[in-house]
Amino acid sequence: QVQLVESGGGLVQAGGSLRLSCAASELTFTNYGMGWFRQAPGKEREFVAAISWSGGNTYYAESVKGRFTISRDNAKNTVYLQMNSLKPEDTAVYYCAAGLVVVPVNREFEYDYWGQGTQVTVSS
């Protein structure tokens, strides 16, 4: 079993940066692929980024490619999402997720555990 807790959300101006963190409670954290998803008001949850067990493979949504970076520190049981050049369109609740996958995937059903979400608001 895995428990995930996101942090680092907040209010930032367009063009600014923010780093989200997701801390896991399980010692088996390293067996899981990790992903970030987001949900904007009135819209469905969408994929943002994913990273493999080892951290050697990453996958990004086209809308964030080149601006966001996903990484993980298995020694700290933590996954990060570094967000640069933020746009108002990035405003959403961001969720981290864990799944027993060996490659980064963008499919919600592949993920077994989800955090409670953290709000990111980008002002213009």
> Which residue is listed with tokens 């067996």?
31
What is the model's pLDDT at position 54? 80
What is the model's pLDDT at position 27? 59
Contacts of 75 by beta carbon, 8 Å cutoff, 6+ apart: none
Residues 25 and 75 sit within 8 Å (Cβ to Cβ): no
In tens digits, the chain (124 residues) has pLDDT values of: 789 999 999 999 999 999 999 998 875 666 789 999 999 999 999 999 999 888 889 999 999 999 999 999 988 989 999 999 999 999 999 999 999 887 888 899 999 999 999 999 999 9
89, with CB counted inside 10 A (0-12, 13-18, 19+), is exposed
Task: Give the angle subtended at the CA of 77 by the CAs of 68 and 116, to the nearest 5°.
Answer: 65
Beta bridge partners of 23: 5, 78
What is the model's pLDDT at position 6? 96
What is the model's pLDDT at position 82? 98
Task: Provide the Cα torsion 35, 17, 119, 63; round to 10°.
Answer: -50
d(CA 13, CA 44): 24
Quick one: CA dihedral 88, 108, 68, 63, positive or negative? Answer: negative
What is the model's pLDDT at position 36? 97
